[in-house]
């Protein structure tokens, strides 16, 4: 006998916290933020920084993660706000990962270090502010009171001005007041006696505003997949299949006969928080490990069925940036006689590494700088390369980068090329 457990709405258990908290309890709006001395990440400065900044400045804690491209793309905006309101504002970047891991991330991705204090791996900051996504912002006033917990779309000059003028504001709040009880979910939804017969199990639940979702842990012998996002981003993750496809650039996702504001979000950023609250879903899937190869296909079928659309990967001709050869300049291909390039902190060296590594860096930099087009390899070469790039990557400047590559007979050009895209369209009525 085969047992199929079909999609159903998740079980949510509300846990409410008192306004009076200790330093280890999650904070809500209106709570006092404990007095903390936070060590700075070495690449962002020496010593430590105190939170709150009693009687002096508004403190904005920006919780981010190395896997959050939206967080990283938002750093320049935060830097501009800090520069503009430096006498009244202190922005601090907070990452839960270890200091070594965070510093390796900046070095590996060759990203410009933000000109903001960075705090990494301080566990008490995670305990104080549970989150169900990043970026996640905590506003602490001059008296040390948590005034707002918001998404990045609320961190604007207009809201800052209003706060400095009135000490308050009209921004949607996030509260870590609801969680999914993993044990309860597993015990009620799954009968352990049936595990050996389960073909797959999944659920899709509308996220309640201000929730913190704890992803269930699948039993031994099962592979799982999870996502918490609006439908557009659910599809993008499921169809990317853990890096098999690159659907991060917006130009690689095509909405056919669908309302962009319904899927991507409103063009008016002041409405983004409300849109996120009304469109975010929590999705969880588990499948026996012997059928792990069906994991993404099962998730894709679930999403198509639930949202009543048809999404698929297709080959289409779209505008791309292509790394191409020019037939001029030095040889970029590595060989055993290649001379090792000198390394320094400002130079990107690609010596005896696959050209795919350079393509990966270019994709990261184009995405970070809000290019909608994908970057593809148009060289017809897949072997190892030997080049060094001094300028153009950080800070990013396409013209300068092109000149650096042209020394080695390479260039980046805009072309129309046939590549993999994710197409989401209305389901045909039969």
The verdict on 81 and 155 lying in the same domain is yes
How many domains does the structure of the chain reveal? Answer: 2
Domain end, chosen from 256, 285, 309, is at: 309
Supply the pLDDT for residue 111. 86
Q: Please report which confidence band the pLDDT of residue 184 belongs to, taking 50, 70 and 90 as the band edges.
A: very low
Q: Please report which confidence band the pLDDT of residue 342 belongs to, taking 50, 70 and 90 as the band edges.
A: low
The verdict on 202 and 155 lying in the same domain is no
Q: Is residue 58 part of a domain?
A: yes
How large a percentage of the chain has pLDDT more than 70?
83
The verdict on 273 and 191 lying in the same domain is yes
Reply yes or no on whether the pLDDT at 19 is more than 80.
no
The verdict on 268 and 235 lying in the same domain is yes
Domain end, chosen from 252, 287, 309, is at: 309
Reply yes or no on whether the pLDDT at 282 is more than 50.
yes
Q: Is residue 423 part of a domain?
A: no
The verdict on 68 and 204 lying in the same domain is no
Reply yes or no on whether the pLDDT at 430 is more than 80.
no
Supply the pLDDT for residue 195. 55
215 — phi, psi (to 5°)? -65, 130
The verdict on 198 and 289 lying in the same domain is yes
Q: What is the mean pLDDT of residues 8-15?
A: 31
Supply the pLDDT for residue 338. 64
Q: Please report which confidence band the pLDDT of residue 30 belongs to, taking 50, 70 and 90 as the band edges.
A: confident
At 154-183, the pLDDT tens digits run: 898 988 998 998 887 777 665 543 333 344
Supply the pLDDT for residue 166. 87
Q: Is residue 27 part of a domain?
A: yes
Q: What is the CATH number of the domain that holds 134?
A: 3.40.30.10
At 391-407, the pLDDT tens digits run: 999 889 999 999 999 99
153 — phi, psi (to 5°)? -70, -15
Q: Is residue 282 part of a domain?
A: yes
If one compares 89 and 271, the residue with the highest pLDDT of the two is 89
The verdict on 146 and 199 lying in the same domain is no
Question: Residues near 293 by Cβ (< 8 Å), separated by ≥ 6?
Answer: none
The span from the CA of 12 to the CA of 137, in Å, is: 24
The verdict on 120 and 206 lying in the same domain is no
Q: Is residue 340 part of a domain?
A: no
Reply yes or no on whether the pLDDT at 18 is more than 80.
no
Find, among 352, 423, 337, 421, the residue nearest to 388 by Cα: 352
At 354-366, the pLDDT tens digits run: 999 999 999 999 9
Reply yes or no on whether the pLDDT at 257 is more than 50.
yes
pTM: 0.63
Question: Rounded mean pLDDT of the chain?
Answer: 83
Highest mean pLDDT among 86-100, 140-154, 254-268: 86-100
Domain span holding position 47: 17-166
If one compares 21 and 235, the residue with the highest pLDDT of the two is 235
The verdict on 105 and 187 lying in the same domain is no
Domain end, chosen from 309, 329, 364, is at: 309
Reply yes or no on whether the pLDDT at 273 is more than 90.
no
Reply yes or no on whether the pLDDT at 212 is more than 70.
no
The verdict on 157 and 186 lying in the same domain is no
At 34-61, the pLDDT tens digits run: 999 999 998 888 889 989 876 689 999 9
Q: Is residue 335 part of a domain?
A: no
At 86-117, the pLDDT tens digits run: 999 999 999 989 999 999 999 888 888 999 99
Q: Is residue 37 part of a domain?
A: yes
The verdict on 46 and 122 lying in the same domain is yes
The span from the CA of 303 to the CA of 321, in Å, is: 31
Q: What is the mean pLDDT of residues 207-218?
A: 69
The verdict on 135 and 188 lying in the same domain is no
Find, among 320, 343, 326, the residue nearest to 403 by Cα: 326
Supply the pLDDT for residue 174. 58
Q: What is the mean pLDDT of residues 201-226?
A: 79
């Amino acid at each position: 006998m085969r047992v199929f457990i079909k999609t159903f709405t998740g079980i949510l258990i509300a846990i409410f916290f008192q306004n009076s908290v200790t330093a280890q309890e999650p904070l809500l709006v209106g709570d006092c933020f404990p007095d903390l001395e936070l060590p700075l990440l070495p690449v962002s400065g020496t010593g430590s920084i105190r939170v709150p900044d009693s009687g002096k400045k508004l403190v904005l804690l920006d919780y981010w993660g190395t896997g959050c491209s939206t967080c990283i793309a938002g750093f320049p905006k935060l830097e501009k706000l800090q520069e503009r309101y430096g006498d009244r504002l202190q922005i601090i970047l907070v990452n839960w990962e270890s200091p070594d891991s965070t510093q390796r991330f900046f070095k590996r991705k060759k990203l410009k270090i933000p000109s903001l204090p960075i705090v990494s791996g301080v566990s008490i900051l995670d305990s104080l502010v549970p989150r169900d996504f990043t970026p996640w912002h905590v506003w602490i006033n001059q008296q040390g009171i948590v005034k707002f917990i918001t998404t990045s779309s609320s961190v604007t000059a207009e809201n800052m001005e209003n706060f400095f003028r009135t000490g308050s504001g009209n921004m949607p709040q996030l509260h870590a007041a609801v969680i999914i009880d993993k044990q309860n979910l597993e015990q009620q939804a799954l009968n352990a006696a049936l595990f050996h017969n389960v073909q797959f199990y999944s659920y899709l639940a509308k996220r309640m505003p201000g929730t913190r979702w704890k992803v269930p842990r699948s039993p031994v012998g099962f592979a799982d997949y999870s996502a918490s996002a609006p439908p557009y981003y659910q599809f993008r993750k499921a169809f990317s299949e853990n890096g098999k496809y690159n659907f991060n650039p917006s130009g690689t996702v095509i909405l056919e006969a669908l309302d962009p504001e319904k899927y991507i979000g409103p063009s008016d950023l002041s409405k983004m928080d409300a849109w996120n609250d009304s469109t975010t879903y929590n999705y969880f899937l588990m499948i026996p490990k012997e059928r792990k190869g069906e994991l993404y296909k099962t998730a894709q079928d679930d999403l198509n069925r639930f949202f009543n659309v048809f999404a698929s990967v297709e080959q289409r001709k779209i505008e791309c940036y292509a790394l191409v050869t020019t037939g001029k300049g030095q040889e970029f291909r590595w060989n055993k006689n290649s001379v090792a390039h000198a390394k320094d902190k400002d130079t990107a060296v690609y010596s005896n590494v696959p050209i795919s590594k350079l393509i990966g860096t270019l994709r990261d930099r184009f995405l970070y700088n809000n290019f909608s087009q994908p970057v593809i390899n148009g060289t017809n070469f897949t072997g190892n390369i030997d080049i060094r790039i001094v300028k153009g990557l950080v800070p990013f400047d396409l013209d300068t980068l092109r000149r650096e590559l042209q020394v080695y007979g390479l260039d980046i050009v805009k072309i129309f090329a046939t590549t993999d895209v994710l197409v989401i369209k209305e389901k045909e009525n039969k």
